[in-house]
Each structure stands twice: as C-alpha cells, then as structure tokens.
Amino acid sequence: AQVAPGAVHVPEWLSVEQQRELVTACREWARGPVPLRHTALPGGGVMSVRTVCLGWHWQPYRYTRTADDVNGAPVAPFPEWLGELGRAALVAAYGQESPVRAYAPDTALINFYDDAARMGMHQDKEERSGAPVVSLSIGDTCVFRFGNTENRGRPYTDVELASGDLFVFGGPSRFAFHGVPRIRPGTAGPATGMSGGRLNLTLRETGLGV
C-alpha cells in the first residue's frame, strides 16, 4: 500500500525462511568485526537502539569505512546477495520499472530494538544519493511514524510494521522525517528464531563511491 508518494508498505514480503536466514546473518554480523552497540551521540547520550553496519559505518552524522567511534575496526563488507534482495524489494514495491536495474545499495544499517528502545523523529541525510531506502522488519511489531519533509511534528502517519514487512522510501518520501515511537513486546512468535525484540535492516546507496 502506498502511504505517501514514493513510500510503499508491502506487508509479509519476506518468507519465514528468509526471515530466519536474515536473523542468522545478523547474529553473525552483530559479533564483529564491529560489535552491535548503542551508538554514541555528540551530546553525550547514546541511542537506545543497538546498531551494526555493513559496507559503510554510520555514525552521527557521517559514513566512514572504519568504526573509529567504536573499536577502529574496518566495517564488514556489504554482501552482493543483499543488493539482489534490495532490487527485488524495489520490484515488489514499485513494479518492474527502470530505476530498479540501477539500484546498487552499498550499505546496510542493522538496528536491534529491545522492548524499551525507540528512535526519535529524524531525517536520513548523510547519503549523497536520492536512491530509495529499503527497510525490512523482523521480530516484534513496532509503531513506525512516517512524517513530513518540513519538521518532526504533525502531520504524520503511524503504521504498524510486523515481522516480514517491507517498506520502501523513494522519491519525495526519501527525505521525510520518521521514527519508531514504540515496540509491541511479544508480538512476533518464535518462527523467525528471534528471542524477543525487533530487527530492522535498511539498505541504502551512500553515493560515496569506492
């Protein structure tokens, strides 16, 4: 369903098997070379969400190749199979159209939410690319808040994102404010191999080149 121009929600897009494979892969990536951790913010706080990155390392508010705000390690590579999944996601959301062939995400941000984690309203502006962002949700359902491009407040639309859901943000929605005001604990069931909490993978083009 289209939530706004360029913002398309495809419920239950991932099979349970795909979800299980992604959970297994995320568990490995969470071990290193850069560990899953609460990102430190410039003001001295930390994010309640825990994050690990592939391809490029996101930190507030830039991308680097090494995790110089964590342990200095080079970030794990972005696997080609995730790029294929990203192109399939664009076909599912937008149909078999021209931008799909060229979509070449080079970074993934993997966010883990425990029951209390939240993400405040923000824009993703570190990428030098207007290419769509592909979001995959696994585990507990969350309330996802999709806002406007002007400010963090209203108008916004709240959407429930459940395990297996795909959300693609392209076109005019690419630079909209968005956030995750709450997780719904215990909504997932055991099928994905998660033992509580929510995983979100976003695939992006950084536009930063090699």
Strand bridging mode 46-54 / 107-113:
antiparallel
Rounded Cα–Cα distance for residues 26 and 109 (Å): 11
Site string (186-205) toward ligand MD3, x via CB under 6 A: --------------x-x---
Binding of residue 124 to ligand MD3 (CB under 6 A): yes
Contact stretch for ligand MD3 (CB under 6 A) within 23-31, 71-79, 97-105, 176-184? 176-184
The letter for the amino acid at 130 is G
Nearer to Fe ion, 124 or 160 (CB): 124
Closest contact distance (angstroms) between CB of 167 and ligand MD3 is 6
Contact stretch for ligand MD3 (CB under 6 A) within 16-24, 34-42, 82-90, 169-177? 169-177
Binding of residue 124 to Fe ion (CB under 5 A): yes
Distances, alpha carbon 171 to alpha carbons 99, 132, 137, 186, in Å: 11, 7, 21, 34
The letter for the amino acid at 86 is G
Binding of residue 135 to ligand MD3 (CB under 6 A): yes
To which residue do tokens 């696994």 refer?
138
Calculate ∠ Cα 85-89-92, nearest 5°: 140
- The residues of the shown chain that bind ligand MD3, judged by CB under 6 A, are 109, 111, 119, 124, 133, 135, 167, 169, 173-174, 176, 178, 180, 200, 202
